[in-house]
Amino acid sequence: MLFATSLLAFVLTLVSWMMHTHHQQTVKVVERHPEWDPRKREYLLAQVRRRKKVTYTLMLIAIAVLISPAIPHNAAFIAYWAIVLLLVLWMVVLAGIDGFATKSYILSLRDERIASRRALEEEVKRLREENRSASSSVEE
């Protein structure tokens, strides 16, 4: 049992480390591109902040799993695992918030593109009408 908990704690720690490394790379990329749209930069940095909370929570769960064999099997054991369960629930809530923020950002980009496309279509329509009216006045 100690081997299994140690292995699980190691895997969770490894995943946390990989997530943390990815967050650092994202921040470096954003810092290297100050010409990016400020809204995109803010979205990416806010995403890193949200996901860092998940990373730290995952690390706390890894520590909790590692020390779990030392917890006596009584009411403290139930309270201990209830706290771990709350940490997992917190991660699920953060993932939901992250998903909602990502969806909102993507929808706002889509809305901008739709508005831009409509403006271009109106411009093309106006230019075609001007071209038609100019060609019809030349024929007269």
pLDDT digits (tens, 9 = 90+) for 67-85: 988 888 888 889 999 999 9
Domain spans in the chain, listed from the N-terminal domain onward: 2-139
Structure confidence by residue, pLDDT tens digits, 12-69:
999 999 999 999 999 999 999 999 989 999 999 999 999 999 999 999 999 999 898 8
Q: d(Cα 51, Cα 94) in Å, to the nearest integer?
A: 8
pTM of this structure: 0.75
| 119 pLDDT higher than 80 | yes
Q: d(Cα 1, Cα 43) in Å, to the nearest integer?
A: 43
Tokens of 118: 């409509």
Structure confidence by residue, pLDDT tens digits, 94-116:
999 999 999 999 999 999 999 99
In the numeric block, the tokens 């010409």 are attached to 35
Write the burial class of residue 58 (CB in 10 Å: 0-12 exposed, 13-18 middle, 19+ buried).
buried
Write the burial class of residue 65 (CB in 10 Å: 0-12 exposed, 13-18 middle, 19+ buried).
buried
**DSSP labels, 62-76:** HHHHHHGGGS-SSHH
